[in-house]
Amino acid sequence: MIEVLVVDDQELVRLGLRTLIENEDGMSCAGEAADGLAAVAAARRERPDVVLMDIRMPGVDGLTATRRISADPSLAGTKVIVLTTFEHDQYVFDALRHGASGFLLKDTRPADLLAAIRAVVDGGALMSPSVTRKVIRAFVANAPRPARPHPALDTLTDREREILALVAEGLSNEEIAARLVISPATARTHVSRAMVKLGARDRAQLVVFAYQSGLGD
Q: Which of the pair, 196 or 145, is modelled with greater confidence?
A: 196
Query: How high is the pLDDT of residue 138?
Result: 56
Q: Which of the pair, 117 or 171, is modelled with greater confidence?
A: 117
Length of the chain: 217
Q: Of the ranges 31-35, 52-56, 195-199, which is most confident?
A: 31-35
Query: How high is the pLDDT of residue 147?
Result: 46
As a whole number, mean pLDDT of residues 76-81 equals 91
As a whole number, mean pLDDT of residues 73-96 equals 78
At a CB cut-off of 8 Å and minimum separation 6, what does 172 contact? none
Q: 168 to each of 18, 30, 90, 172, 181, how far by Cα in Å?
A: 32, 32, 17, 10, 18
Per-residue pLDDT of 147-179, as tens digits, reads 468 889 999 999 999 999 888 877 888 889 999
Q: Are 51 and 33 in contact (CB under 8 A)?
A: no
Q: Are 4 and 50 in contact (CB under 8 A)?
A: yes
pLDDT at position 28 over 60: yes
pLDDT at position 140 over 60: no
User: Residue 35: CA atoms inside 13 Å, Cβ hemisphere, count?
Assistant: 6
Query: How high is the pLDDT of residue 145?
Result: 55
Q: Which of the pair, 61 or 90, is modelled with greater confidence?
A: 61
Q: What is the mean pLDDT of the chain?
A: 85
At a CB cut-off of 8 Å and minimum separation 6, what does 16 contact? none
pLDDT at position 87 over 70: no
Could you give the 3-state DSSP secondary structure of residue 14? helix
- Give the residue among 188, 36, 145 at the shortest CA–CA distance from 100: 36
- How is the beta sheet containing 2-7 ordered, strand by strand? 27-33, 2-7, 50-54, 79-84, 102-105, 126-127
User: Within 10 Å of residue 175's Cβ, how many Cβ atoms?
Assistant: 15
Single-letter code of the amino acid located at 48: P
